[in-house]
Chain A
Amino acid sequence: DAGVIQSPRHEVTEMGQEVTLRCKPISGHNSLFWYRQTMMRGLELLIYFNNNVPIDDSGMPEDRFSAKMPNASFSTLKIQPSEPRDSAVYFCASSYVGGELFFGEGSRLTVL
């Protein structure tokens, strides 16, 4: 298996623009997680899905952030409008329920 695949690996955009990050989980996994990592705040859980259903989005910082999982093999994290403070590395991870997490390589976002 190719593992968890994230795209883009790097994104540089200007404040106010829409950003869409994509994730393809490992086939067969039924849990999907989005994390954000910064030096100041560490690895923060934004949202997670079980069987494509959002279970807990309490970590989503504000309404500018939204996440969807239209099917078992694809998820998006959207930021609209983006702000400089959104600059971070965004990780997607997948697992079987209760099992170990497998992380993607991350999407490094820079908002100017």
Chain B
Amino acid sequence: DAKTTQPTSMDCAEGRAANLPCNHSTISGNEYVYWYRQIHSQGPQYIIHGLKNNETNEMASLIITEDRKSSTLILPHATLRDTAVYYCIVRSTSYDKVIFGPGTSLSVIP
């Protein structure tokens, strides 16, 4: 079973920041938080990952709480092309089984 829980769906106005939450209360010390998204019927695409520090790249920012039990993916200026299903997963560097939950379906509204 997936070790994360996410809201089923969210809406966001175009141009605004999209904040997607994820709970991973049973995360272990050697597990990273990864985010992927799946646009329409394409294969999931990697967005960002982190261990305990906040991370930022050209696509998004990842905020991880100090206790590491939850995180938030931030798309700073959502566009219509960001409409997708967003998956939050935890993954150990030493154990390779990668389980995807149902994710959050984000709709960016004009």
B36, B42, B43, B96: the one within 8 Å of A50 (CB): B96
The bracket for how many chain A residues form the interface is 20 to 34
Which chain B residues lie closer than 8 Å to A50 at the CB level?
Answer: 96
Pick the most buried of B41, B43, B100, B101: most chain A CB atoms within 10 A of its CB.
Answer: B43
Check B44 against A101 for contact (C-beta < 8 Å). yes
A61–chain B nearest beta-carbon distance, Å:
16
Q: Does A102 sit at the interface, judged by CB under 8 A? A: yes
Q: Which A residues are CB-close (under 8 A) to B42?
A: 105-106
Task: For the complex, give the distance between the alpha carbons of A45 and B101 in Å.
Answer: 10
B43: which of A31, A45, A48, A106 is its contact (CB, 8 Å)?
A106
Chain B's interface: helix, strand, loop or mixed, by majority? Answer: loop
Interface size range of chain B in the complex: 20 to 34
Complex partner residue of A45 from B36, B45, B49, B99, CB under 8 angstroms: B99
Closest to A102 in B: B46
Task: Collect the chain A residues with CB atoms within 8 Å of residue B44's CB.
Answer: 43, 91, 93, 101, 103
**Residues of A near any B CB (own CB < 8 A):** 4, 31, 33, 35, 42-43, 45, 48, 50, 55-56, 89, 91, 93, 97-98, 100-106, 108
